[in-house]
């Protein structure tokens, strides 16, 4: 199969969209398929450039502009030229909002079946950032999202909550497709790594319970909730990630350790140095870091809203807290802190890892290939 992937985000940017696209490309290569990527490019003076190839596949960069630390690819007719030359069997559009819209329009003009991946809850972000005007603008955003996804032969949502949101806003032709996790990279065995043990000793020199967060440090992640954990006895709060909220968080959480941005093996070691994984955001359509933490054998504590509802079973592999009740996060974490909670943490972590082992990226890409085939069938039926 020949797959063209048009994505709103790609390397060197690191986020959920980029990670998903990279893993899909790696699995497509392993399964013998062909692929092409169209992504926002970086400026010539950027210290890290968009790669020309990934997983052996060509990457076509389009002109982009920076918007709030993100690169936004500018739509142009060059996408049609690239697609015409590649002649894909199907187009995969990752989190379409600007560049992806042009990709879907081009796919329809060229008769290419298309699958759109809904991944970012943009209306919620808009509502949060725009205050009084947020509700009106969020409703407009949903109209835009519906208009975008109406062009796709199939739209895939990463969680039951996201699927329900799409259905509520009359987005047609929708289905569920989750996300995979690299259980070889993120594994409890990483705790035996000498460098992990060195990190652990530095983070918890007196045997404190390490409460860890991984993700972008930005207002939409609602990291203010971590203040509840700042004075937890016998615990150390550790934060992995970068973003515009870091300076404010350092002031709010003077006792926390900020490890900055980590990726690959260094990120896996950070997870393995934690005892409990804590998530704060209520606007996640999925929650990839929750899966990575579970694969590492950590109990996970997250809001009872959005993507985490599919990923955590309270009492089995973690805990869900009410994000509308102050103190609920601290109450959920408290039973997992201290030496006496070690057996409980291990029990929950083992159950979480067992649960995610079935969500490998190869297995998820097999599901994706089935969705591609469904979209191709729908497109051929419509054409007939």
H helices of 53-133, in order, are 78-86, 99-110, 122-129
Listed residue (114, 104, 112) closest to 86, CA to CA: 112
Which tokens is 146 given?
Answer: 């519906």
- With beta carbons less than 8 A apart as the criterion, state whether 121 and 159 touch: no
Q: 246: exposed, middle or buried (C-beta count within 10 Å: 0-12, 13-18, 19+)?
A: middle
- Burial of 71-86, coded b for 16+ CB within 10 Å and e otherwise, reads bbbebeeebbebbeeb
- Partners of residue 278 on adjacent β-strands: 301
CB atoms within 10 A of CB 244: 12
Share of the chain residues as helix, strand and coil, in percent rounded to the nearest 5: 45, 20, 35
- DSSP state, residue 74: P
- For residue 384, what pLDDT is reported? 47
Listed residue (98, 100, 156, 144) closest to 286, CA to CA: 156
Cα–Cα dist 337/289, whole Å:
21
SS (H, E, C) 267-279: HHHHHHHCCEEEC
Domains of the chain: residue spans and CATH: 2-180+360-383 (3.40.50.2000), 188-356 (3.40.50.2000)
Cα–Cα dist 378/384, whole Å:
10
- With beta carbons less than 8 A apart as the criterion, state whether 319 and 349 touch: no
Cα–Cα dist 308/328, whole Å:
16
Residues 6+ apart with CB under 8 A from 189: none
- Partners of residue 276 on adjacent β-strands: 211
**Segment 128-132 long-range contacts (CB within 8 Å, at least 24 positions apart):** 128/219, 128/220, 128/283, 129/219, 129/220
Q: What's the whole-model pTM score?
A: 0.90
pLDDT by 10s per residue, the chain, length 384:
999 999 999 998 888 899 999 999 999 999 999 999 999 987 555 556 889 999 999 999 998 776 655 676 767 788 999 999 999 999 999 999 889 999 999 999 999 999 999 998 878 777 766 666 677 888 888 999 999 999 999 999 999 999 999 999 999 999 999 999 999 999 999 999 999 999 999 999 999 999 999 999 999 899 999 999 998 999 999 999 999 999 999 999 999 999 999 999 999 999 999 999 999 999 999 999 999 999 999 999 999 999 999 999 999 999 999 999 999 999 999 999 999 999 999 999 999 999 999 999 999 999 999 999 999 998 766 654
Q: 306: exposed, middle or buried (C-beta count within 10 Å: 0-12, 13-18, 19+)?
A: buried
Rg for the chain, CA atoms, rounded: 21
- With beta carbons less than 8 A apart as the criterion, state whether 220 and 245 touch: no
């Amino acid at each position: 199969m020949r797959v063209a992937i048009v994505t709103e985000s790609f390397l060197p940017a690191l986020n959920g969209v980029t990670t998903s696209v990279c893993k899909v490309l790696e699995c497509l290569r392993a399964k013998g398929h062909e692929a092409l990527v169209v992504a926002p490019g970086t400026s010539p003076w950027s210290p890290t450039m968009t790669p020309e190839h990934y997983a052996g596949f060509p990457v076509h960069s389009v002109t982009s502009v920076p918007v709030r630390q993100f690169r936004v690819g500018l739509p142009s007719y060059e996408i049609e030229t690239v697609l015409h030359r590649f002649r894909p069997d199907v187009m995969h559009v990752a989190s379409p909002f600007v560049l992806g819209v042009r990709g879907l329009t081009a796919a329809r003009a060229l008769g290419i079946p298309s699958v759109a991946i809904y991944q970012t809850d943009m209306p919620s972000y808009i509502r949060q950032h725009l205050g009084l005007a947020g509700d009106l603008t969020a409703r407009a955003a949903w109209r835009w999202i519906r208009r975008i996804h109406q062009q796709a032969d199939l739209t895939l949502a990463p969680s039951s909550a996201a699927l329900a949101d799409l259905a509520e806003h009359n987005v047609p032709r929708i289905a569920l497709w989750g996300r995979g996790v690299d259980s070889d990279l993120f594994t409890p065995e990483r705790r035996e790594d000498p460098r992990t043990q060195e990190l652990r000793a530095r983070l918890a020199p007196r045997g404190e319970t390490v409460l860890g967060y991984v993700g972008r440090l930005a207002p939409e992640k609602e990291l203010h909730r971590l203040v509840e954990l700042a004075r937890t006895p016998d615990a150390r709060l550790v934060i992995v990630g970068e973003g515009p909220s870091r300076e404010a968080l350092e002031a709010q959480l003077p006792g926390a350790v900020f490890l900055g941005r980590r990726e690959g093996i260094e990120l896996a070691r950070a997870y393995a140095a934690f005892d409990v994984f804590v998530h704060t955001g209520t606007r996640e359509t999925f929650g990839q870091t929750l899966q990575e933490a579970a694969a590492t054998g950590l109990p996970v504590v997250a809001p009872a809203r959005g993507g985490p509802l599919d990923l955590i079973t309270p009492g089995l592999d973690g805990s869900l807290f009410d994000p509308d009740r102050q103190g609920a996060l601290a109450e959920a974490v408290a039973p997992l802190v201290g030496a006496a909670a070690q057996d409980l943490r291990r029990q929950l972590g083992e159950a979480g890892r067992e649960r995610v082992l079935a969500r490998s990226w190869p297995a998820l890409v097999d599901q994706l290939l089935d969705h591609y085939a469904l979209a191709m069938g729908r497109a051929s039926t419509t054409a007939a």
